[in-house]
Amino acid sequence: MSNPLPTELHDLQELRDHPEIGGTVYKHYLAAAVDLVAGTAGGAATVAVGQPLDTVKVKMQSFPELYPSSVKCFQKTLSQDGVRGLYAGTIPALVANIAENSVLFCAYGVCQKVVQKLVRKPNVQELSPLDNASAGFLAAFFSSLTLCPTELVKCKLQSMRESAHLNGATSQAGIGTWQLTRQIYRQDGFLGFFKGFSATLVREMPGYFFFFGGYEGARYLLTPPGKTKDEIGVARTIVSGGIGGMCLWLSIFPADVIKSRIQISGSNEPALSVARTIIRTEGALALYNGLGPTLLRTFPATGALFLAYEYTRKTLNSAFGIE
């Protein structure tokens, strides 16, 4: 019996070399790879700029009785643990942001093409802010799969001192990223890294609808006559990114508080039940603990994200001849 592999390889080679089909497939894969690399650059920029205020946010969300204000939280963390304390969880934060943003922007590019087909636009450049918001909503599902495990480790590291103090396990206060990762796996197995996944989805999918909608809407409004959105310059890109970040956090902050509580406590309690408990015992405003440092962090961090993303993407598209 003859081996069909050479024939199949020949067919694939013909498909690849086809002037229309092969070129289109190659460009789709290349465009996705460019979005992946650009998203990676954006994720790294976000952590470099915003990690200290993210630490303050997580502490305030999880331990409101210890930190009534962002200033006191910042000062206490700095006095107890130094600058290193403000950058607690940087390694998982870096992994989380790079993983999330690389997958997010790669999926976003693909979802833009899906939405483009559904709304029957000639190309993705013609998509409206609402169309782009819908693409962001869909893309966030895929990024949540990579974000949840790494963010769980990050949140636990950021609140390690407080958790150890409350539980009377002071020996746990100094463990590192890999020790904590192994500990979670030993205690709860692989699924232990997905505690808070439903709350992550509730936060991420609507959040990125407003994130990309706000960003693309701002870019549209800030584009000068006779220019495209890709030509608005550094300052307008940063402002657009900041507006997108503000839209995200203002729309989903309570879900972020609930997610942080679930992940840090290790609870299997449903997100809705956690929300009811917080409102009953601490009041509705407790769902907004940490909003101040989050909004303060948003403009520089999200501006850096989109600046790194857009200019990396523009450079790579130009280098590879992608329109």
Three-state secondary structure string covering the chain: CCCCHHHHHHHHHHHHHCCCHHHHHHHHHHHHHHHHHHHHHHHHHHHHHHHHHHHHHHHHHHCCCCCCCHHHHHHHHHHHHHHHHHCCCHHHHHHHHHHHHHHHHHHHHHHHHHHHHHHCCCCHHHCCHHHHHHHHHHHHHHHHHHHHHHHHHHHHHHCHHHHHHHHCCHHHHHCCHHHHHHHHHHHHCHHHHHCCHHHHHHHHHHHHHHHHHHHHHHHHHHCCCCCCHHHCHHHHHHHHHHHHHHHHHHHHHHHHHHHHHHHHHCCCCCHHHHHHHHHHHHCHHHHHCCHHHHHHHHHHHHHHHHHHHHHHHHHHHHHHCCC
Q: What is the rounded CA–CA span in Å between residue 269 and residue 305?
A: 33
Taking 60 as the threshold, does the pLDDT of residue 22 lie above it? no
Confidence tier at 130 by pLDDT (50, 70, 90): very high
The pLDDT, as a whole number, for residue 139 is: 96
Confidence tier at 5 by pLDDT (50, 70, 90): very low
**Residues making up the chain, counted from first to last:** 323
Confidence tier at 167 by pLDDT (50, 70, 90): low
User: What is the third-level CATH fold of 22-159+171-317?
Assistant: Mitochondrial carrier fold (1.50.40)
Taking 50 as the threshold, does the pLDDT of residue 81 lie above it? yes
Of 26, 5, 55, 34, residue with least CA distance to 296 = 55
Q: Are 130 and 68 in contact (CB under 8 A)?
A: no
Q: What is the rounded CA–CA span in Å between residue 79 and residue 121?
A: 56
Of 58, 122, 13, 19, residue with least CA distance to 261 = 58
The tokens of 179 are what? Answer: 């020790």
Of 318, 309, 322, residue with least CA distance to 98 = 309
Instruction: Please report, for the chain, the start and end positions of each structural domain, with discontinuous segments joined by +.
Output: 22-159+171-317
The pLDDT, as a whole number, for residue 25 is: 63
The pLDDT, as a whole number, for residue 294 is: 87
Confidence tier at 162 by pLDDT (50, 70, 90): confident
Taking 70 as the threshold, does the pLDDT of residue 180 lie above it? yes
Q: Are 107 and 137 in contact (CB under 8 A)?
A: no
Residue type, 274: V
Taking 50 as the threshold, does the pLDDT of residue 245 lie above it? yes
The pLDDT, as a whole number, for residue 128 is: 93
Taking 90 as the threshold, does the pLDDT of residue 131 lie above it? yes
Share of the chain above pLDDT 90, in %: 29
Q: If you average pLDDT over residues 293-306, what whole number do you get?
A: 86
Question: Token pair 């599902």 is at which residue?
Answer: 141
Confidence tier at 220 by pLDDT (50, 70, 90): very high
Q: Which of 10-19, 89-98, 221-230 has the lowest mean pLDDT?
A: 10-19
The pLDDT, as a whole number, for residue 2 is: 46
Confidence tier at 61 by pLDDT (50, 70, 90): confident
Taking 90 as the threshold, does the pLDDT of residue 293 lie above it? no
Q: What is the rounded CA–CA span in Å between residue 211 and residue 304?
A: 15
Q: What pTM does this model have?
A: 0.75
Taking 60 as the threshold, does the pLDDT of residue 234 lie above it? yes
Q: What is the rounded CA–CA span in Å between residue 74 and residue 56?
A: 6
Question: Token pair 């000062």 is at which residue?
Answer: 75
Q: Are 303 and 243 in contact (CB under 8 A)?
A: no
Higher pLDDT among residues 4 and 88, named by residue: 88
Share of the chain above pLDDT 70, in %: 88
Question: Token pair 């509730």 is at which residue?
Answer: 202
Higher pLDDT among residues 163 and 243, named by residue: 243
Q: What is the mean pLDDT of the chain?
A: 84
Question: Rounded to 5 degrees, what angle do the CA atoms 176, 178, 182 make?
Answer: 115
Higher pLDDT among residues 248 and 28, named by residue: 248
The pLDDT, as a whole number, for residue 15 is: 45
Q: What is the rounded CA–CA span in Å between residue 319 and residue 185?
A: 43
Question: Token pair 């093409």 is at which residue?
Answer: 113
The tokens of 47 are what? Answer: 């952590």
The tokens of 213 are what? Answer: 């909608």
